[in-house]
């Protein structure tokens, strides 16, 4: 081997071993053979995964016609083993005299007149270097042809190719492991993303279910469950709180006279007005039928009548329009105020007691509208 050949070989092998990824490694192998040997037509066939039944020609260097014919072709492992077995052994290399082909393998034979010399390279000649892993697996194959001077290269070129093939196997195995690691990382990232998406979806579903189970489906107001939770939170925090129980007057008459569709619309409109007029209070709830409850934190005795005025105005400020009807709506109100103190009962017990007392107050005033009117009059006092 001439010393002048060592520099290109070392440079080529350095490029092969520093390439990142399988495709780049294979192309560096093809380019390296071209730069360090006389061959100008190079094709690299490789198994992308261990023990794969098919191998692919995915890198090369040569004429556009050769590359167009060979790149992207696929062959079975057993067909490639047969092709190599049929070749004449040049050390670990295999030399074939075509143009006979092996079934299932795409071959390329250029058309040109060979030199009139004993060592001339003919268009149907082909030199192959098997690429075998230490365990004997056929990792791939290097195919060489078309020496630039038209002659069969000197024996030292075969020695270079044997060294190159050994190093190519190492680089290909490392590149395959790198690709496998990337695929494993991508798979893990996809699984993590799927888990995050599933967790987010589950949280959203639970939040939705929690909201749905705490909202009145007709009006969108809080229901009895959410009402109790908010009230108990205030009691645990020792906040002064006012509870107002509201019951529409003569709602049964509306349902009986105009139908439940009109009654439902009355409830929806009334609920909307309550929510708007009392946006700053802790909770506005519909607990069933025509019964509403308002819970307001920080409201004590002197401020309670003003709260009642705001609630009454939500009901009575203007008629409710429903299905072409204009219906006057009013409500009976029952007020209970709870100052901030520790109390003897638990928060749940105190919440239940407050709601019961407010309910009784409401029914007492329903029997006598004068009681509500008296409270509303107090709200107008300075």
pLDDT value of residue 376: 53
List, for residues 78-125, the tens digit of each pLDDT value.
999 999 999 999 999 999 997 777 888 998 999 899 999 999 999 999
Per cent of the chain over pLDDT 70 is 93
Q: How many CB atoms lie within 10 A of CB 256?
A: 11
Query: Helical H runs in the chain?
Result: 6-18, 22-36, 64-70, 77-86, 155-212, 224-236, 251-258, 260-277, 304-316, 347-367, 369-379
pLDDT, tens only, 334-369: 999 888 665 567 888 899 999 999 999 998 887 665
Of 252-256, 259-263, 378-382, the poorest mean pLDDT is in 378-382
| pLDDT value of position 341 | 61
Task: Specify the pLDDT at position 1.
Answer: 65
Whether the link from the prior residue into 221 is cis, omega within 30° of 0, is no
Query: 164 exposed, middle or buried (CB, 10 Å; 0-12, 13-18, 19+)?
Result: buried
Per-residue pLDDT of 182-221, as tens digits, reads 889 999 999 999 999 999 888 888 877 777 788 999 999 9
Cβ atoms 73, 56 nearer than 8 A: yes
User: What is the model's pLDDT at position 379?
Assistant: 46
Q: Is the pLDDT of residue 244 over 90?
A: yes
Q: What pLDDT shows up at residue 324?
A: 85
For residue 255, pLDDT over 80 is answered with yes
pLDDT band for position 157 (cuts 50, 70, 90): very high
Using one digit for the tens of pLDDT, what is the confidence trace for 58-73? 999 999 999 999 999 9
**E strand or H helix at 119:** none
Among the listed residues 342, 227, 368, the one whose alpha carbon sits nearest the alpha carbon of residue 292? 227
User: In the chain, what are the domains?
Assistant: 3-183 (3.30.450.40), 224-379 (3.30.70.270)
How many angstroms separate the CA atoms of 62 and 31, rounded? 10
132 CB contacts (<8 Å, ≥6 apart)? 138, 139, 169
On the question of pLDDT at 54 being above 90, the answer is yes
């Amino acid at each position: 081997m001439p010393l002048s050949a060592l520099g290109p070989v070392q440079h080529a092998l350095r490029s092969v071993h520093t390439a990142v990824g399988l495709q780049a490694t294979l192309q560096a192998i093809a380019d390296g053979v071209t730069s360090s040997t006389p061959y100008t037509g190079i094709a690299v066939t490789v198994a992308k995964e261990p023990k794969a039944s098919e191998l692919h020609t995915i890198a090369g260097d040569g004429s556009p016609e050769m590359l167009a014919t060979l790149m992207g072709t696929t062959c079975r492992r057993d067909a490639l083993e047969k092709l190599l077995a049929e070749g004449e052994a040049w050390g670990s290399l295999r030399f074939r005299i075509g143009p006979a082909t092996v079934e299932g393998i795409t071959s390329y034979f250029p058309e040109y007149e060979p030199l009139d010399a004993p060592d001339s390279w003919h268009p149907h000649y082909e030199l192959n270097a098997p690429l075998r892993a230490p365990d004997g697996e056929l990792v791939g194959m290097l195919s060489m042809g078309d020496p630039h001077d038209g002659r069969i290269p000197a024996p030292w070129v075969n020695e270079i190719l044997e060294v190159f093939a050994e190093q190519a196997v190492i680089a290909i195995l490392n590149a395959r492991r790198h690709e496998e690691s990337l695929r494993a990382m991508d798979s893990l990232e996809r699984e993590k993303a799927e888990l995050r998406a599933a967790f987010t979806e589950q949280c959203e579903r639970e939040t939705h279910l929690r909201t749905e189970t705490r909202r009145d489906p007709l009006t969108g107001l809080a229901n009895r469950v959410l009402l109790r939770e908010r009230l108990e939170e205030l009691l645990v925090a020792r906040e002064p709180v006012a509870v107002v129980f509201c019951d529409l007057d003569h709602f049964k008459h509306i349902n009986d006279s105009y139908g439940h569709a009109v009654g439902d619309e009355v409830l929806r409109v009334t609920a909307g007005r309550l929510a708007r007029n009392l946006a700053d209070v802790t909770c506005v709830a519909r607990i069933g039928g025509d019964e509403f409850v308002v819970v307001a934190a920080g409201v004590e005795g002197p401020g309670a009548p003003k709260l009642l005025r705001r609630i009454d105005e939500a009901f009575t400020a203007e008629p409710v329009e429903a299905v072409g009807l204009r219906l006057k709506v009013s409500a009976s109100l029952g007020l209970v105020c709870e100052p901030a103190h520790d109390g003897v009962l638990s928060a749940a017990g105190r919440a239940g007691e407050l709601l019961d007392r407010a309910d009784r107050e409401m029914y007492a005033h329903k029997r006598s509208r004068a009681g509500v009117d008296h409270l509303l009059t107090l709200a107008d006092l300075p």
